[in-house]
Copies of this chain bind each other. A is one copy, B any other.
C-alpha cells in the first residue's frame, strides 16, 4: 500500500463483544467501506464500556491515524460513556447542542424527559455531519467520528459520512482461487511479493470450501499492477490447480469458472 494512503483506526466499545453475547458486525462493514474509499484501516481495538479505557484509546488512536471511528456506547444508560470519554480525550467539556436538543424534543414529544435530552450532549464545538438522508446527524470531533453500535444504525451513519471520506483512488483487489498447497507455493509468492512491492498479497487456506482450498488476494491502488501480479502468479502454478484466476484471461484459457 502507498505511504500516501490516509489511515484509519476503529475503536469498538462494548462489554457485549468481550463476553461473546454479540458477534461484531461493524468492523467488516467499516473495513469494506474504507477499502472501497481508498482509506487504509490500520488498527481495530475492542474495549469495555469503561470511560478511562476509552479515553486512553481515543487519544492514542486519533493521534496515530488520520481518522478514528468509534462504535457503540452513545445512548444514555449507565454503560453509555463514549461521548463523555471522547470529550475528555480531546480536552473538551460535554455540552448540550441546541440543534440536537431540538431534534430530541420534537422526536420524543410529550414523552421527552431530562434523560432523553442527554442524547443532545456532545463535546464542545463538535461538528454535526449529515448528508440530508436523516435528520439525525453524525457527531464528529476533530478527526473522530462517533458512530452507534447497533449494526443497522452503524451502517446507515457510515453511509452518511462516506462523502467526507471519499475523493482518493480506491483500492482494487483481485482474488485467485486455487487447489494449491500453501507451503508449496510459498517460494513463488515470495518472488511475486518482491517483484510487486506495491501490491499487498494475501494467502488464505479454506478448510470447509468444496470448490477451492487456497485463496490468494492481490490488493493495490493501481489496477494494472494488481492484475499483473495476479497474472504472474497464475502463470507460474500448475494450471490444473487453478479454479478461478479472478482476472481476465485470454480466450485460449476458456471462460472463467463463474
Tell me the A residues contacting B by CB distance below 8 Å.
15-24, 27-35, 41-49, 53, 75-79, 108, 111, 113, 115-116, 119, 150, 152-153, 171, 173, 181-187, 189-190, 193, 200-208, 217, 219
Residue contact B27 to A193, C-beta cutoff 8 Å: no
Q: List 22 A–B pairs whose Cβ atoms lie within 8 Å, in order of A's numbering.
A: A15-B200, A15-B202, A16-B204, A17-B27, A19-B41, A19-B173, A20-B33, A21-B202, A21-B217, A22-B204, A24-B24, A27-B46, A43-B46, A75-B182, A75-B183, A76-B182, A76-B183, A78-B186, A79-B202, A111-B184, A115-B186, A152-B208
Distance in angstroms from A197 CB to nearest chain B CB is 11
Q: Is the CB of B205 within 8 A of A150?
A: yes
- Contact B27–A77 (Cβ < 8 Å): no
Identical chains bound together, number: 2
Chain B min CB distance to A75 (Å): 6
Q: State A21–B111 Cα separation when bound (angstroms).
A: 44
Interface of A is mostly: mixed
B28 contacts A24, CB within 8 Å?
A: yes
Q: Are B43 and A31 in contact (CB under 8 A)?
A: no
Least CB distance from A170 to B in Å reads 12
Judge whether A203 and B48 touch: CB under 8 Å: no
